[in-house]
Amino acid sequence: MRFPTRWLAPLLLCLTVLGSGAVSFSFASAYNAHPKLIVVIVIDQFRGDYLDRYHDQLGEGGFRLFLDHGANFTDCNYDYANTRTAPGHATLFTGAYSNGHGIHANEWWDAKKKKMVSSVEDGNTKIVGISSAGIGASPHNLMADTLGDELKLATQGKARVFGIALKDRAAILPAGFAGDAAYWIDQKSGAW
């Protein structure tokens, strides 16, 4: 097949302009600055439309502050049906499904130990702050980086990452591997 010569000059002109950098491409973002604070709030059984539905009933601080001055993703959906805490939080904070992050339930049968184990149970770690603490806990079963892990990497470790929740798995998994601390209420003592 013969290339028509009448297209040669316009083609060369386009390639020259694109190659010279005279045309630059950029990607727009709703928020281009580096945020000073990132707060992610997860409330079990709290539908996303409640924030809009009850916006006029919210006080000036709290959720209204987040809605009016923060980033609010109103159409963020996962094709996801696992409603347990550990896999749900792992999915939210890694962006991966259970087959990608490794957390498929709150607890499961460990064939080697011949018993049920928690998704965050880790005999190689120690829980501090509670004298009655038994087996340690960590995100060691998690197979993907979390938002907190990536934030630590992006800031060369300068970011501070904390997980705070009522349950261990809801605090530990979101904080990820690089988290500075995870705080939760101990079921036996009621202490943080």
85, 91, 94, 146: the active-site residue: 85
Q: Where are the chain's structural domains?
A: 38-77, 83-192
- pLDDT (tens digit, 9 = 90+) per residue, 64-97? 888 888 877 777 777 878 788 999 999 999 999 9
Where residue 146 falls among pLDDT bands split at 50, 70, 90? very high
> Is 74 among the catalytic positions?
no
Q: Give the burial string for 168-189 (b: 16+ CB within 10 Å, else e).
A: bbbbbbbbbebbeebebeeeee
**Residue 5 corresponds to which amino acid?**
T
- pLDDT (tens digit, 9 = 90+) per residue, 100-139? 999 999 999 999 999 999 999 998 998 887 766 678 899 9
